[in-house]
Amino acid sequence: MNTTIEQGQMAFMNTYAQFPLVLKGGHGCTVTDQDGKEYLDMVAGIAVNSLGYGDSEFTDALKGVLDAGLLHCSNLYYNEQAVLAATQLKQLSAMERVFFCNSGTEANEAALKLARKWGKQFSPVKDEIITMLSSFHGRTYGSMSATGQVKYQKHFTPLVPKILHTPFNDFDALSSAVNENTAAVFIEVIQGEGGIREIDVDFLRKVRSLCDEMGILLIADEVQCGMGRSGKAFAWQHTDVTPDAMTLAKALGNGVPIGALVTSSTCCEVFEPGDHAATFGGNLLSATAANVILKRLLEGDLLAHVNEVGAYFKSRLQKLEARYGCVLEVRGKGLMLAIELDRPARQVIADAMEKGLLLVGAGERVVRFVPPLIITTAEIDTACDILDQILTGL
């Protein structure tokens, strides 16, 4: 057994079913293990490493922060990088104000608090929150309670109260759950952990109208589907519906931890000093990382690339679906794609790793593809050829 793995097993808490693989480096869309074996990466740290590995602009920007000496100064003071990151987010989203934190779950905690304070402006009991079944919003108490999957919650009750779940894309169920005490509805425009499931645009439009009618905030969790992954900067931009707020993390820092709650004019003045904070939120290191990717999204070439190669990737997966009965469905948009199998995905993922291809599941039977956004059609061909070999052998 590899010593790093053995030491890890003795040192880490038992929270992850880790593969016996130790990663050490990377270039482009390829990561390298301890022995120098290369893997084509369709995981990207689970939709995080959008610029791939060794991007020179990204590396130089981070080195610049280290050279200047100041990585962090707290939110007692301003720093130029956080101001620029918030400004770039405003430009990309046409929203109004940004709160920085460190992760997706933390961004959703901020959104939950925002929703409750928003509701209390109208009535002390306007504090109910509705989220979708099969959603995923994170692991801290509020976000875990918002997550619409019992498997993440069952050992940890009692949950945060007054968070209800209704089936994804079922407007009748949602409208029956909504009442004058509903403060917010949370949605993922493309559910990630729930198996790469797209929202029905008509459902989303109806939810928007209902929220407007009832004074309810519509909050989009863009932690996984945001930051260019779907082919638009934010997945809601594929529709004609604008949420009142959205949460971001994952690719926002390209591997440096950062999360954000971005609010539109409806609710950007709800928080006041003292209501919410995060020590590290928007520090110079993480905000500098965010600025590199935000600039790429604003320039537009990256999004055009995602749309082009994403469509190609989906067509190659559809060919596999046509060829193999065990592939039940191909889903997703841009470079947030998946195949649903008629059997557990874990063996396919393990076989792919053996053949130098990293894949990740999204639920029991779904193989998800969330590669760096810089992936080429040649790399997509390599991945699909490996997948083809594996499916033949099933």
Smallest gap from Cβ 136 to ligand PLP, in A, equals: 5
- The answer to whether residues 16 and 46 touch, using CB atoms and an 8 Å cutoff, is no
- The answer to whether residues 333 and 235 touch, using CB atoms and an 8 Å cutoff, is yes
Question: 3-state DSSP call for residue 179?
Answer: coil
CA 30 to chain centre: 21
What is the 8-class DSSP label of residue 245? E
169: contact with ligand PLP by CB under 6 A:
no
Stretch touching ligand PLP by CB under 6 A, among 37-45, 81-89, 97-105, 125-133: 97-105
Between CA 120 and CA 274 the distance in angstroms is 17
Q: Please identify which residue in 79, 166, 224, 288 interacts with ligand PLP, judged by CB under 6 A.
A: 224
Smallest gap from Cβ 112 to ligand PLP, in A, equals: 12
Task: Give backbone dihedrals phi and psi of 109, rounded to 5 degrees, phi first.
Answer: -60, -40
223: contact with ligand PLP by CB under 6 A:
yes
188: contact with ligand PLP by CB under 6 A:
yes
- The answer to whether residues 129 and 146 touch, using CB atoms and an 8 Å cutoff, is yes
Smallest gap from Cβ 199 to ligand PLP, in A, equals: 12
192: contact with ligand PLP by CB under 6 A:
yes
Between CA 85 and CA 81 the distance in angstroms is 6
For residue 198, the tally of other CB atoms under 10 A from its CB is 19
Q: Please identify which residue in 26, 104, 281, 332 interacts with ligand PLP, judged by CB under 6 A.
A: 104
x-marked contacts with ligand PLP along 245-264 as a string, rule CB under 6 A: ----x---------------
Edge-to-edge strands, sheet with 360-361: 327-333, 336-341, 366-369, 360-361
x-marked contacts with ligand PLP along 3-32 as a string, rule CB under 6 A: ------------------------------
136: contact with ligand PLP by CB under 6 A:
yes
Residues that bind ligand PLP (CB under 6 A): 103-105, 108, 136-138, 188, 192-193, 221, 223-224, 249
